Chains A and B, each alone.
Chain A
Amino acid sequence: MTMKPLNDERVEGLIANLLRAGVVIAALVVIGGAVPYLAEHPWAHVSYRAFHGEPNELKAVHEIIPNAFSGNPRGIMQLGLLLLIATPIARVVFSAGAFAVEGDRMYVGFTLIVLAVLLYSLFGSFLIA
């Protein structure tokens, strides 16, 4: 089996494809929720003037997923948005692996710091609250 060496340019190409795939999948899931959402109450009055905050099933990662699979249109759209937020995180995970294969320990370390910050942002508020 012949494998091209994992140089920076090849890594960047793979990252670009990963990002594009993530955005396309996220957009398709969002549209998949948008169609039933628009069909459900097309004439309902809507206003975002006042802030209410989203209910738990639309903000906690572990609740968004089952909520979307139960077929709730707003839940499906939110799952798409969660996938979109996860796309750069996947990119950072991939970069950590690529730096590890290149044997660049220093940059594996930097990448893991970035990953820790990203995971904290998504899950951290549940650790405190």
Chain B
Amino acid sequence: MNVLEFTFLVWAGSLVAGFLGALTGLGGGVVLVPLLTIFFHVDLRYAIGASLVSVIATSSGSAAAYVKEGFSNIRIGMFLEIATTIGALLGAYLTVKVPANAIAIIFGIVLLYSAYVSRRTRPRTDVEQPPDPLATKLKMNGSFPDTSGVRQYNVYNVPSGFGVMFIAGTLSGLLGIGSGALKVVAMDQAMKIPFKVSTTTSNFMIGVTAAASAGVYLSRGYIDPSLAMPVMIGVLMGSLLGTRVLVKTQTKRLRLVFSVVIVLLGLEMMFKGLTGGL
């Protein structure tokens, strides 16, 4: 392929990934690395570097839309970013040590897990508990605008949430993804943070987490500008379009379709990893 063809096709593929990622709320980053490695035969490390860059772009670009609604909690976000950024550093260093085939298999597992999380309905038993002393000390309890005025919420299980965030950060650095699914699990399931607050705070954290590993990737020479350029521009345009359309469309069927795509890509990544096809 020549420069023009390659740049255009990668841009178009990233546009679709960003569009579907924003529309379904599953994030476009998770399909970018499989897209680049499987269909464009890009080396895994270059693909991860380009994907990280696009994760920063979409997270930062969409923050404005989220913040207006007043759901995100910057204290929770900042505290947990200690875990995700240190994890991201570890993940970025592991990329050098772990063989590409093993990374492909881990990637496949994470893809399957993301699809599973997105399909599951969240059974949550919200029992009224007294405020958690640690969360209170860390000033994490907050409130957000609700249909019936302002709703107060308490935060629980800070240590286990912190632990899951460390793992989310490590996977983000190792695989070049936002790890949004795992971040939401940590906040929603473990820390009992209301879903709207955890999704928006997660989006807020993704950019900082990705910047921690992107710094390592850049200084190691894993970020190629000619490849990252169409990926970044494509994903950014796609996700901006996606958030515009989001309000108007019925996304249930689309989520199902995108989940199936994620499962197929996950299986393909695992197959390539097991057969040494990467």
Contacts and interface: CB of A to CB of B under 8 A. Distances in A.
Interface residues of B, number: 65
Given A59-B221, A114-B81, A125 B211 contact: no
A16 B59 CA distance: 11
Contact of A16 (B64, B75, B223): B64
Contact of A87 (B74, B85, B207, B225): B207
Interface string B34-66: 001000111101110000010011011101101
Nearest to A111: B78
Contacts of B47: 48
Interface stretch (B3-11, B241-249, B259-267): B3-11
A74 B225 contact: yes
Contact of B43 (A43, A51, A81): A51
A105 to B, nearest CB: 12
Interface SS of B by simple majority? helix
A88 B78 contact: no
Given A16-B63, A50-B43, A122-B219, 15 more contacts: A13-B67, A20-B63, A34-B233, A44-B3, A51-B45, A54-B222, A58-B224, A58-B225, A85-B53, A85-B56, A85-B215, A85-B218, A121-B212, A121-B215, A121-B219
Interface of B: 1-4, 6-7, 36, 40-43, 45-47, 53, 56-57, 59-61, 63-64, 66-68, 70, 72, 74-75, 78-79, 81-82, 85-86, 88-89, 92, 138-139, 207-208, 210-216, 218-230, 232-233, 236
